[in-house]
Amino acid sequence: MRRPFVAANWKMHKTVQEAVAYARDFAPRVEAVRNVDIVIAPPFLALPALVEATANSRVLVAAQNVHTAPHGAFTGEVSLGMLQGSGVTLVIIGHSERRQLFGETDAGVNTKTRATIDAGLTPIVCVGETLEEREADRTFDVLDRQVRDGLAGLSAGQVAALVVAYEPVWAIGTGRNATPDQADEAHRHIRQQLASQFGDAAAACRVIYGGSVKPGNVAELSARPDVDGALVGGASLDPASFAEIVASSRPATV
Ligand code: PEP
């Protein structure tokens, strides 16, 4: 049994004060939810305050990105050591917005993933095809490449412990989610690719779905056996909405 994993990606939303107010509202709403990993990824600036505000709750805190150098002349970047020092335990890597807007490559995703694991943090590695790639029937090729190159060189044990987020780019922020059948098909394919690279670790690695997840569609999506939870953007910005998504996610089975 893989433990469901539900994460909020706030992107560039919320001030420090808004993040703390959210945590105070949200944490009690999910206090009674058992057997689900609950994660919030705020902007960098709000990380320490959110770690503190969620300290006695079931909520874990993730960064949305990281730089792999320990320190140095990298204006605007944040290191793994800085994240560790703030109590952050997970990092989103290779989000499609990072790939599309900031030129991140599979090789860069691999470097960040390996460094994040070496630092003792858990990567949430994002993969997913564009609409153009789907329409050209290249979805599986793209997913294979992103998984193969993004996770190259990892051990089976490392892969078993990380999270892969399948996020079809055409479904992110568009209000148009993948159907449960589309998500299921892609997740099964990703797990096959993981199995070909890492054997039995594929059965332990959590593969979550992202792309216009809402309270009204999460139960149907996460009821599919290979969908182990959700990465949620827009619908995570409201604490009541995200709490409903967490409560409605269903355990997946191996
Ligand atoms: C995301 O940013 O990872 C995402 C899935 O966004 P949304 O839920 O808004 O589509």
User: What CATH number does the domain containing 95 carry?
Assistant: 3.20.20.70
Domain span at residue 96? 5-248
Is 222 inside any structural domain?
A: yes
253 found inside a domain: no
Choice among 133, 167, 187, 244 that is catalytic = 167
Catalytic: 13? no
Ligand 1 in reach of 211 Cβ (< 6 A): yes
Tens digits of residue pLDDT in 224-244: 999 999 999 999 999 999 999
Look at residue 236 in the predicted model and tell me its pLDDT: 98
pTM of the model: 0.96
3-class DSSP assignment, residue 29: helix
Residue 125 lies in a domain: yes
Q: Per the structure, how many domains does the chain have?
A: 1
Instruction: Give, using CA atoms, the residue closest to atom 7 of ligand 1.
Output: 233
Sign of CA dihedral 95, 68, 202, 198: positive
pLDDT higher than 70, residue 253: no
Tally Cβ neighbours within 10 Å of residue 76. Answer: 6
Pick from 87, 102, 93: nearest CA to 48: 87
Question: What ranges make up the beta strands (E) of the chain?
Answer: 5-9, 37-41, 59-63, 90-93, 122-127, 163-166, 206-210, 229-232
Mean pLDDT of the chain: 96
Mean pLDDT of 182-187: 97
Tell me whether residue 214 is in a domain.
yes
At 132-184, the pLDDT tens digits run: 999 999 999 999 999 999 999 999 999 999 999 999 999 999 999 999 999 99
Q: Which of 38, 104, 96 is nearest to 68 (CA)?
A: 104
Question: Measuring from atom 3 of ligand 1, which residue has the nearest CA?
Answer: 233
**Cα–ligand 1 centroid distance for 198 (angstroms):** 28
Ligand 1 site-directed mutation target among 6, 95, 131, 167, most atoms within 8 Å of CB: 167
Q: Which tens digit of pLDDT belongs to each residue from 72-118?
A: 999 999 999 999 999 999 999 999 999 999 999 999 999 999 999 99
Is 227 near ligand 1, meaning CB less than 6 Å away? no
Question: Is 95 among the residues known to form the active site?
Answer: yes
**Ligand 1 within 6 A of 39 CB?**
no
User: What band does 251 get if pLDDT is binned at 50, 70 and 90?
Assistant: low
- 189 falls within a domain: yes
pLDDT at 13 over 60: yes
Question: How far does the centroid of ligand 1 lie from the alpha carbon of residue 181, in Å?
Answer: 19
167 lines ligand 1 (CB under 6 A): yes
In testing the pocket of ligand 1, which one of 213, 214, 244 has its CB within 8 Å of the most ligand atoms?
A: 213
Using N-to-C axis directions, what is the helix angle for 139-150 and 180-198, rounded to 10°? 40
With respect to residue 130, please indicate whether it lies within any of the assigned structural domains.
Answer: yes
- From ligand 1's centre to the CA of 230, what distance in Å? 9
Residue among 96, 172, 209 to mutate when testing ligand 1 (max atoms within 8 A of CB): 172
C-alpha separations of 108 from 149, 159, 231 in Å = 10, 17, 21
Cα 155 vs. chain centroid, distance in angstroms? 20
Q: Is residue 115 part of a domain?
A: yes
Question: Do 139 and 167 touch, CB atoms closer than 8 A?
Answer: no
Decide if 254 is inside a domain: no
